[in-house]
């Protein structure tokens, strides 16, 4: 077992315990660390030659929390809530042993301290924090579906009061040094180089080795329990806010509220036991597994370009061409220029190109107003964007991204014009959302250098880029596409070519199902609210308005034209036709669609919906509507796996959450199936197909997987406790 920490004792009896997890860029809590730390604490408590202790780190940061790669498999390994609680409580007892050892312990926090790292510091009697913006502290466990399981829900409220602590724990917010000092989360700030010296200076004062909550007569700052009106209000408001923010799909915020409420009314040791029980329930549940696996482990791998082809030299784009200066093209220009890339923003006229740059200016001005950038950075970014109508200005671009109207002929025309001036090795990428890349590449003289880069709107906010591989796209082009996506700090997923690729295919099933329900006479408010209660950011009718019904109708007609006799009308066809062709309600940007958008007021469902699609006498339950909306998306995602569009389940889960808003609690569309159980999911779809039509019918391939119990993620080898 490699050493994760070392202990050095000087002539004054000061033991310096230095954390240094081998082979990791940051310190994390692992089973090896816990074992070695427990032994070190026991030595500290029993060695008469040790008078006091400094806890610090050999790395640039103090500690980043628990190693999620170990926690993420707990649910699949069959770890029970009791077993997980036992592991949590064992570590809590170690920290309790440290703070009650009778020897002063100071945390010299030389960098960020998050999660279990900050819980280590909270168990120390004094905390000195490096006074640097990146040296944040906090308890972000809620973001991975957990709660702090090493005393965080008990020590922090006892330190700074429930009213201050509860929002920090419930939101998982990182706290910068100045605020941490003001709140009382740390005792002192110091330049990084002086943190250890300040720790030694505190020890030189021969302080008492006792925590505030262990002093006789200590009372909770601000009070605890429902007998205190202010604290009662904190919990009542907190419960309402949690319900609104999570739609009760995420158990961790509720568990945090309960742990703080129950534990802070009892002595610290009883409170720690309560915290561990709640932690155990969360770790043994599927939501924490789903969040950790998709949003942290797999997202981290994607951000590090884990799917990039091997053997291709790294590349960087110095000069980027963008064809089309609309909102999408202007957004790509802005984020690329912010990443230090010179951008040629081209449109049919110089005025249109300049309007695109002006859109980038407006986005940057908003960031300036909110303090995210300064004036100098804004001007430098804008200086990198060159609006033009001259294709000759594309000369020297290593990459061109086409973001023109979703029309095959228009795209073919700009492809030919751009390639006429591009270098032999330049990559051409289309930002199409539905048209197959292989078909678009027919207009290219270099199909091996042709690829899809599907951005999402608004570009500056949406983190995902879908990389679409055509039949002739080569590995070098794929690698360079990954490098560019990494350069602009987006999260890439890799998919094979098909109509609609992955995200657009799945998104279309969501909006189509919502419109089909409307045609059935299901109340539009029920459709929209059920979607939001399921965890979708907006309902299918509202999002249809945002992307415009006009665009959906044009894509539908284009597909109908392309496929001919093979075309099968979607269940939304008649609804779209009536809204667009007959009623001329094209979406939000055109004045109204399924919703009205009165000036200065919140949007409202269009009253005319009831006239065109009268409500049915009997309405389904919210649960039934929710099931249809989520199952149809998950089923289409499974079809993408079957057809080879998706090559890795992680891409499907990341794409469904980051690209189309599939609820994060599920872990993504494929994790949703695994969580339900593939056999149960197939049974559900079979039932839905009988009631609502063949679009829900599971394929023979999916049925075979269900019969063999083959999940989309293979189970971890072996079984042990958390």
In 123-228, which ranges are continuous DSSP H helix?
Answer: 152-160, 162-171, 177-183, 195-204
Strand 342-346 versus strand 319-323 pairing type: parallel
Instruction: Give helix 229-246 / helix 251-263 axis angle, nearest 10°.
Output: 170
C-alpha–C-alpha distance, residues 184 and 186, integer Å: 5
C-alpha–C-alpha distance, residues 424 and 443, integer Å: 16
C-alpha–C-alpha distance, residues 276 and 149, integer Å: 6
* 8 Å CB contact between 627 and 684: yes
Closest Cα to residue 276, out of 132, 82, 98, 26?
A: 82
Residue with tokens 């081998």: 22
* 8 Å CB contact between 264 and 154: yes
C-alpha–C-alpha distance, residues 104 and 265, integer Å: 27
Residue with tokens 């922090």: 156
Q: Hey, how many other C-beta atoms are within 10 angstroms of the C-beta on 16?
A: 17
* 8 Å CB contact between 278 and 271: no
Residue with tokens 């063949």: 694
* 8 Å CB contact between 206 and 52: no
* 8 Å CB contact between 426 and 477: no
Strand order in the sheet with 52-57: 5-9, 14-19, 52-57, 105-109, 126-130, 188-190
Residue with tokens 């249109």: 352
Closest Cα to residue 345, out of 404, 392, 396, 385?
A: 385
CB within 8 A of 518, min separation 6: which ones? 524, 527, 541, 575, 594, 609, 613
C-alpha–C-alpha distance, residues 426 and 418, integer Å: 10
Binning the chain into helix, strand and coil, the percentages to the nearest 5 are: 50, 10, 35
* 8 Å CB contact between 68 and 144: yes
Residues counted in the chain: 722
| Range 317-355 burial, b when 16+ CB lie within 10 A, else e | bebbbbbbbbbbbbbbbbbbbbbebbbbbbbeeeebbbb
Instruction: Please give the DSSP secondary-structure letter assigned to residue 615.
Output: P
Active-site residue, selected from the candidate residues 70, 454, 631, 692: 454
C-alpha–C-alpha distance, residues 378 and 385, integer Å: 11
β-partners of residue 323 are 346, 402
Question: Helix or strand or coil: residue 6?
Answer: strand
Q: Is 454 a catalytic residue?
A: yes
Report the Cα 252 to chain-centroid distance in Å.
16
Question: Helix or strand or coil: residue 515?
Answer: helix
| Range 512-528 burial, b when 16+ CB lie within 10 A, else e | bbbbbbbeeebbbebbb
Residue with tokens 């308005």: 545
Structure-block tokens of residue 272: 């720690």
Give kind and range of the element (H or E) at residue 56.
strand 52-57
C-alpha–C-alpha distance, residues 122 and 51, integer Å: 20
* 8 Å CB contact between 691 and 54: no
C-alpha–C-alpha distance, residues 299 and 307, integer Å: 11
Active site residues per annotation: 454
């Amino acid at each position: 077992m490699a050493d994760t920490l070392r202990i050095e004792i000087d002539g004054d009896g000061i033991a310096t315990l230095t954390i240094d997890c081998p082979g990791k860029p940051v310190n994390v809590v692992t089973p090896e660390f816990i074992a070695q730390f427990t032994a070190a604490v026991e030595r500290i408590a029993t060695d008469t030659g040790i008078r006091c202790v400094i806890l610090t780190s050999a790395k640039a940061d103090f500690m980043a929390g628990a190693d999620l790669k170990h926690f993420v498999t707990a649910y699949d390994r069959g770890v029970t809530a009791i077993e997980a609680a036992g592991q949590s409580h064992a570590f809590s007892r170690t920290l309790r042993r440290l703070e009650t050892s009778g020897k002063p312990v100071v945390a010299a926090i030389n960098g960020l301290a998050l999660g279990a790292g900050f819980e280590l510091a909270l168990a120390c009697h004094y905390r000195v924090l490096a006074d640097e913006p990146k040296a944040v502290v906090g308890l972000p466990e809620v973001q991975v579906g957990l709660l702090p399981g090493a005393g965080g829900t008990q020590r922090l409220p006892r330190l700074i009061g429930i009213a201050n602590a509860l929002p920090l724990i419930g939101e998982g917010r990182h706290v910068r040094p100045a605020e941490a000092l003001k709140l009382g989360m740390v005792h002192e700030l110091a330049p990084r180089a002086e943190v250890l010296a300040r720790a030694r200076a505190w020890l030189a004062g021969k302080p008492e080795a006792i925590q505030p909550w262990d002093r006789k007569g200590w009372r909770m700052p601000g009070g605890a329990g429902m007998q205190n009106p202010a604290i009662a209000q904190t919990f009542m408001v907190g419960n309402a806010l949690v319900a609104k923010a999570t739609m009760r799909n995420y158990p961790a915020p509720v568990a945090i509220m309960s742990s703080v409420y129950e534990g802070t009314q009892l002595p610290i040791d009883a409170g720690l036991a309560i915290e561990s029980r709640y932690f155990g329930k969360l770790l043994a549940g599927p939501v924490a597994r789903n969040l950790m696996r998709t949003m942290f482990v797999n997202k981290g791998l994607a951000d590090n370009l884990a799917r990039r082809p091997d053997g291709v030299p790294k590349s960087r784009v110095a000069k980027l061409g963008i064809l089309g200066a609309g909102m999408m093209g202007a957004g790509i220009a802005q984020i690329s220029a912010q990443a230090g890339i010179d951008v040629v923003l081209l449109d049919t006229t110089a005025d249109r190109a300049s309007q695109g740059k002006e859109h980038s200016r407006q986005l940057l001005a908003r960031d300036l107003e909110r303090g995210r950038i300064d004036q100098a950075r804004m001007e430098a970014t804008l200086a990198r964007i060159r609006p033009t109508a001259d294709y000759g200005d594309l000369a020297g671009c290593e990459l061109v991204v086409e973001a023109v109207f979703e029309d095959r002929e228009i795209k073919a025309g700009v492809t030919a014009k751009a390639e006429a001036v591009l270098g032999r090795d330049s990559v051409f990428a289309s930002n199409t959302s539905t048209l197959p890349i292989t078909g678009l590449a027919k207009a290219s003289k270099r199909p091996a250098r042709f690829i899809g880069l599907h951005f999402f709107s608004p570009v500056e906010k949406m983190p995902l880029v879908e990389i679409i591989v055509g039949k002739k796209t080569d590995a070098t082009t794929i690698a360079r596409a990954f490098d560019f996506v990494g350069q602009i700090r987006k999260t890439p997923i890799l998919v094979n070519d098909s109509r609609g690729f992955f995200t657009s295919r799945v998104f279309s099933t969501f909006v189509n199902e919502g419109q089909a329900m409307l045609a059935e006479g299901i109340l539009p408010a029920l459709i929209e609210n059920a979607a939001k209660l399921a965890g979708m950011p907006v309902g299918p009718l509202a999002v249809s308005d945002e992307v415009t019904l006009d665009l959906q109708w044009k894509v539908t007609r284009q597909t109908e034209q392309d496929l001919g006799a093979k075309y099968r009308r979607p269940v939304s066809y008649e609804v779209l036709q009536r809204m667009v062709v007959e009623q001329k309600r094209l979406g939000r940007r055109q004045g109204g669609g399924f919703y009205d958008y009165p000036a200065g007021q919140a949007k409202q469902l269009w009253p005319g919906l009831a006239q065109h699609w009268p409500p049915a006498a009997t309405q389904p339950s919210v649960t039934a509507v929710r099931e249809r909306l989520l199952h149809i998306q998950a089923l289409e995602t499974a079809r993408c796996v079957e057809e080879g569009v998706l090559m890795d389940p992680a891409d499907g889960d990341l794409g469904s959450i980051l690209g189309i808003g599939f609820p994060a609690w599920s872990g993504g569309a494929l994790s949703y199936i695994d969580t339900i159980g593939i056999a149960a999911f197939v049974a559900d779809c079979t039932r839905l197909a009988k009631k609502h039509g063949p679009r829900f019918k599971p394929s023979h391939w999916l049925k075979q997987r269900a019969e063999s119990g083959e999940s989309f993620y293979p189970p971890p080898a072996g079984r042990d406790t958390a």
